[in-house]
Amino acid sequence: MAASFLLPVTVIGYIVGIVLAILRTVYRSRTARRFASIVFAVTWIFHTVAVVREGIVEGRLPLANMAEYLLVLGWIVLTLHLYLWYRLEVEISGVVLLPLAAIMTFVSMELMRSEPARSAATPDGWFLFHTTVSTLGMAFLSVAFAMSVIYLVQDRVLKSKKAFRLLDRLPSLQKSDQIGVRSLTVGFILLTMGIGTGVVVNAEVHERLVVMGAKQIFPVLAWLVFAAILIFRPMLGFRGRKSAYLTIAGFALGLLTVIGMTL
Amino acid sequence: MLILIGSNHRSAPVAVRERMSFPLQKLPEAHDGLLRAEGVQEGMILSTCNRVEILVRSAGEAGASAAAVKSFLAEQQNLSFEEIDRYTYQLVEGDAVRHLFSVASGLDSMIMGEPQILGQVKQAYQMGKENKTIGPVLDRLLQHCLSTAKKVRTDTGISRNAVSVAYAAVELARKIFGDLEGRSAMLLGAGEMGDLVGRHLVTNGASELIVCSRTFTNAVLRAEAMGGKAIHWEEALDHLRRVDILVSCTGASHAVLEKQDVAKALRGRRLGPLFLIDIAVPRDIDPRVNELNNVYLYDIDALQGVIESNLEERRLAAEHAKRMIGEEVMSFDRWIQSQEVTPLIVSLRETLLEVGEYELGRYRGRLGRLDDRQQKTVEELTRAIIQKILHRPIRRLRASVDRGDTLECTSLYREIFGMEQLDGEAGADPGDEAPSEASQDGPHRLLDGRNKGA
């Protein structure tokens, strides 16, 4: 289990970071940006220490149960947010992506608190590979989701010709689209690998392929949605709002998979 | 004393402003003339199409110095005193500094936040330096002014958003496409405004410009002028499939591009968004086109809405800028006041050291014969006592710059220490005992020691 103070401090870091990101977006405050950068860095350090400590204490990769999965997923999402914030200068991700990471970390913390002894078997072989690629895939799909939300906001502002000031706080439409599609592509590849290895793990555990419910159905549905976006984009020029809505729908199916894992 | 005499688009009509402005070639001579004006120690002339500002530092009284600058202006530009009084404003000290900072930051410009003025102030500063009319105070003021203006622009973003139709269109294109590098644009029609938008798009990176007009020869001529490519009117819809931006400005009395035309063009299109700019009145493009996915249509009213929003943003930024300028004016004022404090501190030290030397000389005879070491010790003791006495008053005097009561403080100090008297005759109160003969070499040594030690 992560040290008792690490996750609460991380969650507080997320909350402060989100408030600063909102202040930066609304008021374009340089001070808020400076402090946000510091808070993000400190939060990332605490989250990293929490993940590493969890791995050391359990003596394995911390991906054996839902609490650990969300802890690691939140950490990857935060890392991707930092990349967007510093490298790609998409500061609005602090308002969209960071709350996602915060919720994941908070739920992870609550699960650890409510079920302190829910350690599962040590993941190895295909299962380890399956959980790793699935977690990474979900993190990249989170970025695709965030960029789709941003895209839809931009589209609405540009179409309605109101609240132009908001446009100054957002990346260009094209940039949102590009980052979204790249994240979706990486996420889709990882999801494909995750589903493929999931089938192998399923067959290994049950000695035959068992389709039990949400855990198997939702990822396949999400995969079909993402595949449709990526195939029809170059073929039929499937872009813009439709593509953004479908990405959000695909991500929602991905989330249902995660929720399905806990049931 | 800083004095600014100026005239701008608010104080004078263009007919007067054009008479007041200094042509570039006339400026060196004008700077010479300015320095010859009564009481003027330093000066600078800022002359642009919208304003003339003459800033001077003068030694004399404000009214007389301002009158001297006005008569310089009248003489140089053949203007009557009545015209000058009527169309100019006069600002002194802090108000002059604040005005200069506002001008350089674009707050006083006809189009608030316009960036050209900063370059013009920089040029005027350079011109003043070249003509040797800028001394230490104006040099410091202008440097402070330029750095403040840069800070204002960076921190408030007052110049960030477009306030003309052509720039607003380019700005929107950037919001959609980001970098315009590699983007292609098509001009439909022969309107001047359309050409202006087209030119701005090319200047901002658009790599291809297609010009389409009902008269092909006209399209060819305009395409050549803008570095674009002319096409026939009938080819426009085909090209719509591959361009990113369309600027329409025809003189047609009805829509030339219907929703179904654009929808058809989109079907064969594999590119990103399509940005349509309709600046024609009556409109060229069916407004329902905006309903299509991935298509953004802006007519002249929508562009005007962008400009209004940007102007509002600039107005908000101006409030922030005024607060920043207020702080910078105070900071410059503190520097000016510190310039008054430093000579007083030097004078205060010298005065007390002279008193010390004088008294040391008087008591030399009573001390008897002193060897060199003893003599040095007595001098050091005297200096140490003076330093101790002065330490707190000097600290308080320096602090008066931050408190903003330097003027009161310096006059109080002069009064307390009788500085005016002492400046005239060191050791004005010789006391009742005449100095002994042995004091002849004393006073110099204490001052020398101070000079070495201080």
DSSP result, chain A: ---TTHHHHHHHHHHHHHHHHHHHHHH--HHHHHHHHHHHHHHHHHHHHHHHHHHHHHTS-S-SSHHHHHHHHHHHHHHHHHIIIIIS--TTHHHHHHHHHHHHHHHHHHHHHH-TT---PPP-HHHHHHHHHHHHHHHHHHHHHHHHHHHHHHHHHHHHT--THHHHTS--HHHHHHHHHHHHHHHHHHHHHHHHHHHHHHHHHHSS----SHHHHHHHHHHHHHHHHHHHHHHH---HHHHHHHHHHHHHHHHHHHHHHH-
C-alpha distance from A246 to closest chain B C-alpha (Å) = 14
Q: Are the C-beta atoms of residues B421 and B428 closer than 8 Å to each other? A: yes
List CB contacts (< 8 A) between B273 and chain A. Answer: 173-174, 239-240
Lowest mean pLDDT among A245-254, B124-133, B398-407: B398-407
List CB contacts (< 8 A) between A174 and chain B. Answer: 176-178, 272-273
Are A172 and B178 inside 8 Å of each other by CB? yes
Q: How confident is the model at residue B448 (pLDDT cuts 50, 70, 90)?
A: low
Q: Are the C-beta atoms of residues A214 and A259 closer than 8 Å to each other? A: yes
Q: Are the C-beta atoms of residues B280 and B309 closer than 8 Å to each other? A: no
Q: Are the C-beta atoms of residues A144 and A183 closer than 8 Å to each other? A: yes
Query: Which SS3 state, helix, strand or coil, does residue B64 take?
Result: helix
A101 and A170 within one domain:
no
Q: Are the C-beta atoms of residues B200 and B247 closer than 8 Å to each other? A: no
A162 and A32 within one domain:
no
pLDDT in tens, B267-323: 767 778 999 999 988 899 999 999 998 999 999 999 999 898 888 888 989 999 999
pLDDT at A120: 57
What CA–CA distance (Å, rounded) separates B139 from B211? 51
Structural domains in chain B, CATH included, are 2-160 (3.30.460.30), 165-293 (3.40.50.720), 329-453 (no CATH)
If one counts the domains in chain A, the total is 2
Q: b or e along B74-93 (b: 16 or more beta carbons within 10 Å of the residue's beta carbon)?
A: bebbebeeebbeebbebbbe
Residue with tokens 């999965």: A69
pLDDT at B61: 82
List CB contacts (< 8 A) between A158 and chain B. Answer: 172, 175-176, 296
- Here the tokens at position B352 are 């007390």
Q: Where are the alpha helices (DSSP H) in B368-441?
A: 372-403, 406-416, 419-424
Low-confidence ranges of chain A (pLDDT < 70): 1-3, 116-124, 208-212, 261-263
List CB contacts (< 8 A) between A244 and chain B. Answer: none
* Cis peptide bond N-terminal to B343, omega within 30: no
Q: Taking the CB of residue B18, how many other CB atoms lie within 10 A of it?
A: 10
Task: Evaluate if residue B142 carries a pLDDT over 70.
Answer: yes
pLDDT at B454: 35
pLDDT in tens, B99-121: 999 999 999 998 888 888 999 99
Task: Evaluate if residue B449 carries a pLDDT over 70.
Answer: no
For the segment B393-422, the average pLDDT, to the nearest whole number, is 79
A128 and A116 within one domain:
no
Alpha-carbon separation of residue A71 from A61, A81, B331 (angstroms): 12, 15, 51
Q: Is B49 a catalytic residue?
A: yes
- Here the tokens at position B397 are 């005097």
Chain A touched by B239 (CB under 8 Å):
no
- The one-letter code for the residue type at B7 is S
pLDDT in tens, A36-58: 999 999 999 999 999 999 999 88
What CA–CA distance (Å, rounded) separates A218 from A14? 29
Q: If 0-12 CB within 10 Å is exposed, 13-18 middle and 19+ buried, where does residue B173 land?
A: buried
Chain A touched by B175 (CB under 8 Å):
yes
pLDDT at B144: 95
Chain B touched by A261 (CB under 8 Å):
no
pLDDT at A212: 64
A139 and A72 within one domain:
no
Q: Are the C-beta atoms of residues B380 and B353 closer than 8 Å to each other? A: no
For the segment B80-95, the average pLDDT, to the nearest whole number, is 93
A149 and A115 within one domain:
no
A55 and A14 within one domain:
yes
Instruction: Look at residues A92, A120, A148 and tell me which one is the last residue of a structural domain.
Output: A120
A261 and A143 within one domain:
yes
Q: Supply the ipTM of this predicted assembly.
A: 0.86
Q: Are the C-beta atoms of residues B307 and B163 closer than 8 Å to each other? A: yes
A161: nearest CB among B157, B161, B305: B305
pLDDT at A199: 86
A71 and A95 within one domain:
yes
Q: Are the C-beta atoms of residues B283 and B299 closer than 8 Å to each other? A: yes
* Dihedral sign of CA atoms A141, A147, A152, A153 in order: positive
Are B178 and A167 inside 8 Å of each other by CB? no
Residue with tokens 């292609």: B184
A180 and A256 within one domain:
yes
What CA–CA distance (Å, rounded) separates B117 from B55? 16
* Residue A88, domain extent: 1-120
Instruction: Look at residues A65, A95, A120 and tell me which one is the last residue of a structural domain.
Output: A120
pLDDT at A259: 77
A164 and A116 within one domain:
no
Nearest CA in chain A to B307: A164
Which of B294, B299, B300, B310 is the best mutation test for A, with the most CBs of A within 10 A? B294
- Domain holding A139: CATH number? 1.20.120
C-alpha distance from B211 to closest chain A C-alpha (Å) = 25
What CA–CA distance (Å, rounded) separates B316 from B260? 42
- Here the tokens at position A44 are 């990332």
What CA–CA distance (Å, rounded) separates A124 from B407? 81
Q: Are the C-beta atoms of residues B452 and B383 closer than 8 Å to each other? A: no
Helix axis angle for A125-160 and A66-82, nearest 10°, is 50
Instruction: Look at residues A120, A145, A164 and tell me which one is the last residue of a structural domain.
Output: A120
Chain B touched by A160 (CB under 8 Å):
no
Q: If 0-12 CB within 10 Å is exposed, 13-18 middle and 19+ buried, where does residue B268 land?
A: exposed
- The CB-side HSE value for B240 (13 A sphere, CA atoms) comes to 27
pLDDT at B423: 42
A209 and A102 within one domain:
no
pLDDT at A158: 94
Q: Are the C-beta atoms of residues B248 and B278 closer than 8 Å to each other? A: yes
A230 and A162 within one domain:
yes
Chain B touched by A173 (CB under 8 Å):
yes
Query: Which SS3 state, helix, strand or coil, does residue B154 take?
Result: helix
| Mean per-residue pLDDT over chain B, rounded | 86
For the segment B244-252, the average pLDDT, to the nearest whole number, is 92
CA B219 vs. chain centroid, Å, equals 44
What CA–CA distance (Å, rounded) separates A133 from A127? 10
Q: How confident is the model at residue B441 (pLDDT cuts 50, 70, 90)?
A: very low
Lowest mean pLDDT among A80-89, A244-253, B66-75, B421-430: B421-430
What CA–CA distance (Å, rounded) separates B323 from A253? 51
Higher per-residue confidence, A234 vs B69: B69
Alpha-carbon separation of residue A141 from A100, A187, B169, B280 (angstroms): 12, 5, 34, 43
